[in-house]
Structure 1
């Protein structure tokens, strides 16, 4: 069967399985990958994904001068009427903050800037010699008022939706791709490893390789699972790191301190009904530290945790054997509350 024609930005990925078509491209500071079956659905799924990613970047990227969220920050507080897209993204972020008890918080923007994450990560000097600024306090998600599209943002509060926006992009892209095709097959969308699936999966589910990027001197840990429905997302302290003088920084901020989370886990992968849920849970677990396993078990979230030393823990029904399916709850914690921030 001839390969579907792709736009220049997308590169075909050879998986050795001609029943599934896969393509990837750089997008929103990471790699986007789309897999579909039947293969003829790929061009429509890619076009739908392009639209979703372009819209999300213009809504929620704090690194674009022309984004909606950057426009809000330049106004430095006030009452605003948001676009539907940014209103949804912020609503999901606030709902995630509520669900995680503030372990995930969209008001960490100023704290990230003070740590040196003040531009697109690709342009940050990973070995910077300048000293880190003093930690900036995190105002807290409760200081933000959102009612539908109406936002009241206090003076001095900078938003960062990094814990939920990319995952929301995967959820949106899956819905858009399914709507753009006849719906008889299935689709998988991954943004930097935060992935969601929709429609009918291939036989026995989508094969997923779960891996973490080890720290210097540590060994990598990988596992193969299968995903029939829902989503899987990973948060890690090892993939976006930089130095400020003698301090190593990473992008997961503990809202309680305004500093990078310093718990025992280097990587957490979680499964949930939506990618927004899964990424919120994984990030919350990194921040929760020693309490992560108890929190995940109470939340009934299947998760895989890897310590800085490479020890692997499974909680919440995460599969122990390679190739086994992961069972996610049908209820979405974040989306159930998204309309009531």
Structure 2
């Protein structure tokens, strides 16, 4: 049974959960949004972003997500960078996506270099942002929240289920027929491009430069995936990247990194960092690339009657 609702500026779907658990999921995501939204002036994340270099004492929720985000920032060598909120605001993404106005005029900013954007004191449980740094937790907050909720449900005896947080998907438990996963066509998002049948628990995340796009008053196109090396919208040969991982937070992080780095450089980099991940990329010309250990998750990928073997 499917259930869906709106939270965190996206559609959240659950599959196979009873009414009690569905309400639990809704309440959890509403709480996370209230705490971590960059677009709410009263959110705790907004308070952190206004802390102006002073130590900030966060709630346990914000503290745990910041630890997770900073861990991946370090692990990926800064390719995944949650400290680019000021860059997103500078290109017009300073409000919820559906309310972005084309009336702003983009002025290229100098790249803001800091040796370490944040200090997280585990003993004092405080966070100190460097001057000029603001945090955008975006996709990792959705993936992390879905992962945390699935773990809680498992602890409560829910043996299997699916939570899809706007394309960040966590699947747990056994399914005799396998779990069916569909990947949308980035050029025609109302259509499915690929179909897979998973034979294990997994975290899946898809990142795209096509989904959230807007223009300024000069007609310049922007999207929400920022390449931290240049401080601007990424411009690789990929328009979409999907990563399969043991957990959805890892999948979310590496899907974004793969999208930024491009297929050839990105897949080699990803395999070196995490040999247990599988990936599917869609290039700007519409061609499909498959790499990593995708066969650990699904034996075949189907596209419009074609079959790509992963064995």
TM-score range, shorter chain: 0.7 to 0.9
Distance 1:314 1:79 in 2: 44
Which residue, 210, 235, 243 being the options, matches 2:215?
243
* 1:257 and 2:230 are equivalent in the alignment: yes
Contact in 1 for aligned 2:114/2:130 (Cα 8 Å): no
Distance 2:188 2:115 in 1: 31
* 1:225 and 2:205 are equivalent in the alignment: no
- Number of equivalent positions: 295
Distance 1:197 1:140 in 2: 38
Contact in 2 for aligned 1:201/1:229 (Cα 8 Å): yes
Report the Cα offset of residue 144 of structure 1: 0.5
Distance 1:229 1:288 in 2: 27
* Unmatched tracts of structure 2, length 5 or more: none
| Superposition RMSD in Å | 2.3
Which residue, 246, 249, 257 being the options, matches 1:273?
246
Query: 1:88 maps to which residue?
Result: 64
Deviations 1:257-285 (A, max 9, x none): 11000000000000111111001000001
* 1:25 and 2:5 are equivalent in the alignment: yes
Distance 2:258 2:9 in 1: 23
Larger RCO, structure (CA 8 Å, separation 6 or more): 1
After TM superposition, the runs of 4+ consecutive aligned structure 1 residues lying more than 4 A away are 138-141
Deviations 1:166-211 (A, max 9, x none): 111110221233344x33x31110011110122x222143211122
Report the Cα offset of residue 230 of structure 1: 2.3
Distance 1:174 1:140 in 2: 36
* 1:302 and 2:281 are equivalent in the alignment: no
Report the Cα offset of residue 22 of structure 1: 1.4
Query: 1:292 maps to which residue?
Result: 266
Report the Cα offset of residue 233 of structure 1: 0.3
* 1:49 and 2:47 are equivalent in the alignment: no
Contact in 2 for aligned 1:138/1:255 (Cα 8 Å): no
Secondary structure of residue in 2 paired with 1:158: coil
Contact in 2 for aligned 1:107/1:141 (Cα 8 Å): no
In the superposition, relative to structure 1, how do residues 163 and 22 fare at CA in structure 2: closer, same or farther (>3 Å)?
Answer: closer
Report the Cα offset of residue 99 of structure 1: 1.6
Contact in 2 for aligned 1:48/1:176 (Cα 8 Å): no
In the superposition, relative to structure 1, how do residues 132 and 220 fare at CA in structure 2: closer, same or farther (>3 Å)?
Answer: farther
Secondary structure of residue in 2 paired with 1:208: strand
Query: 2:37 maps to which residue?
Result: 61
Report the Cα offset of residue 68 of structure 1: 0.3
Query: 2:206 maps to which residue?
Result: 234
Deviations 1:121-148 (A, max 9, x none): 01113xx254212235354583201123
Report the Cα offset of residue 247 of structure 1: 1.6
